[in-house]
A and B are shown apart, each in its own frame.
Chain A
């Protein structure tokens, strides 16, 4: 099976702009979680989507949002970009058969640079 894919791999934006990142999970996986990775804060949970519904949300401002489509692909959006949003954004997919929890497999990430 193909692994988790993310597009684009690299993005450069300026402050105030908005950005949309995409994640395609492993075929058959229904849960997609998003994480922000920075040298200072490490890996921090943004949110999780399961069956097109947000199941959990981390401590990030409302500028960070996401959604999931019926084919389990997910997008996250960051509006009004700030310099501090520069990070590697990782998504992870899981096969969840009964609405519980399962092993997460990460994508390669999108490197966002805000100038």
Chain B
């Protein structure tokens, strides 16, 4: 089945800096890649997603890039703020598997003042 690896597991940046989180997937058929943000004690919330027919997508300070050849995708957060501190999860979905998402292990992002 699909396997998703996520790096780094922890990331500490200074406020205003950029943060990059990387994920690789194993099944080349995967066609949907969402990113979720989970604050302590809260539910995971979708922050951005990308489909396999698109190489990059941007939403204000957040962007995701997809390299299908290398089977990896990345989350980029610019001008980080303290409220960006949370755990971020990447995920991948294989067609034909319904809505099943395979998640990465998460990245704890800490934005320091």
Footprint of B on A, CB under 8 Å? 4, 31, 33, 35, 42-45, 48, 50, 55-56, 58, 90, 92, 94, 96, 101-109
Are B49 and A45 in touch, CB under 8 angstroms? no
Question: B1: nearest residue on chain A (CB-CB)?
Answer: A59
We find that the number of chain B residues with CB closer than 8 angstroms to chain A is: 23
Are A90 and B44 in touch, CB under 8 angstroms? yes
In the complex, which of the residues A43, A50, A56, A106 contacts B45, with contact meaning CB atoms closer than 8 Å? A106
Question: B31: nearest residue on chain A (CB-CB)?
Answer: A101
Whole-angstrom CA separation of A107 from B38 in the bound complex: 12
User: How near does chain A come to B27, taking the closest CB pair, in angstroms?
Assistant: 14
In the complex, which of the residues B34, B89, B99 contacts A48, with contact meaning CB atoms closer than 8 Å? B99
Whole-angstrom CA separation of A17 from B32 in the bound complex: 38
Are A101 and B99 in touch, CB under 8 angstroms? yes
User: How near does chain A come to B109, taking the closest CB pair, in angstroms?
Assistant: 16
Q: A42-B103, A43-B89 are in contact. Are A101 and B43 (CB under 8 A)?
A: no
Are B43 and A50 in touch, CB under 8 angstroms? no
Residues of A within 8 A of B36 (CB): 106
Q: A42-B106, A43-B89, A103-B34 are in contact. Are A33 and B46 (CB under 8 A)?
A: no
Whole-angstrom CA separation of A44 from B104 in the bound complex: 10
Are B98 and A50 in touch, CB under 8 angstroms? yes
Are B45 and A94 in touch, CB under 8 angstroms? no
Whole-angstrom CA separation of A7 from B99 in the bound complex: 22
18 contacts between A and B (CB under 8 A): A4-B43, A31-B98, A31-B99, A42-B89, A42-B103, A42-B104, A42-B106, A43-B91, A43-B106, A48-B100, A50-B99, A58-B100, A92-B99, A96-B99, A103-B34, A103-B46, A105-B46, A108-B43
